[in-house]
């Protein structure tokens, strides 16, 4: 990733941190009417559509829609190899073109994050009108610096209140740990292993800490 893109992402991250104020602990949410639920659902669906606008182009190094469709049909192992080659600038579109797409996707990701964060702060986790995995997509693609300790505190409160599924919280938390080059805590998501050609959930480095954390949010303890 070029210096220009890194600088752009740094600026975006600073703006994201300033846009939405963290609510006080125990803040009441605005009541939801059916019309408001429908409106918020439509807004989130629009976010999800934009979430993939340039992402596949960047990952596969291809902008032709027909060629992209064929690349997405490849096996998981072949997709991994293609993405790695693109990342190393060995195949696919020029680096300058990739950087330009990254800037556009980063702007979309930041906008989606701010909107979803605002929805949760104002109305609570959208449990009753949106599938949980769709909400998680927005946060999985967020930059680690956007997912602050204060925001994780808010999400954890949503879990403890029965609004947010514990699995989704754990998956997002662990994803940010990986992005920050830190060990996972909950170990709920599978990861592709290029050596074995398979996807699997890793084994906790600290079993006691993992089980304590899982139990706290209502997940079953890890078993070998």
The string of pLDDT tens digits covering residues 12-60 is: 454 455 455 555 555 578 889 999 999 999 999 999 999 999 999 999 9
Closest Cα to residue 10, out of 117, 103, 118, 97? 103
Strand ranges (DSSP E) for the chain? 191-193, 198-200
68 and 123 fall within a common domain: yes
Among residues 115, 142, 169, the one where a domain terminates is 142
Last residue of a domain, one of 103, 122, 142: 142
Q: What is the pLDDT of residues 69-116, one digit of tens each?
A: 999 999 989 999 999 999 999 999 999 999 999 999 999 999 999 999
Domain ranges, residue 189: 149-224
- Residue 2 counted as domain residue: no
For residue 97, give Cα distances in angstroms to 52, 62, 83, 210.
17, 10, 16, 42
Report how many domains make up the chain: 2
Question: Does residue 11 carry a pLDDT above 50?
Answer: no
Residues 37 and 138 in one domain: yes
Q: Answer yes or no: pTM beyond 0.85.
A: no
Contact 71, 82 (CB under 8 A): yes
**For residue 126, what pLDDT band results from cuts at 50, 70 and 90?**
very high
Q: Of 124, 142, 160, which residue is a domain's last?
A: 142
Provide, rounded to the nearest whole percent, the portion of the chain with pLDDT above 90.
79
Say whether pLDDT at 138 is over 50: yes
Residue 41 and residue 127 in one domain: yes
């Amino acid at each position: 990733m070029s210096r220009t893109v890194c600088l752009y992402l740094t600026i975006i991250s600073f703006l994201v941190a300033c846009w939405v104020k963290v609510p006080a602990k125990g803040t009441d949410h605005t009541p939801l009417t059916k019309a408001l639920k429908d409106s918020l659902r439509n807004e989130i669906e629009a976010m999800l559509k934009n979430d993939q606008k340039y992402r596949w182009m960047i990952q596969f190094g291809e902008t032709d829609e027909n060629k992209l469709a064929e690349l997405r049909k490849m096996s998981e192992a072949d997709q991994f190899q293609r993405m790695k080659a693109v990342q190393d600038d060995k195949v696919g579109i020029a680096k300058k073109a990739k950087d330009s797409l990254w800037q556009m996707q980063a702007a979309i990701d930041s906008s989606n994050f701010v909107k979803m964060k605002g929805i949760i702060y104002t109305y609570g986790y959208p449990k009753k009108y949106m599938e949980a995995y769709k909400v998680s997509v927005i946060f999985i693609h967020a930059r680690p610096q956007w997912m602050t300790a204060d925001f994780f505190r808010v999400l954890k409160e949503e879990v403890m209140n029965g609004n947010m599924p514990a699995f989704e919280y754990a998956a997002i938390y662990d994803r940010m740990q990986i992005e920050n080059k830190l060990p996972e805590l909950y170990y709920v998501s599978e990861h592709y292993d290029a050596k074995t050609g398979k996807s699997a959930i890793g084994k906790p480095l600290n079993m006691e800490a993992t089980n304590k954390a899982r139990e706290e949010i209502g997940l079953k303890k890890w078993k070998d």
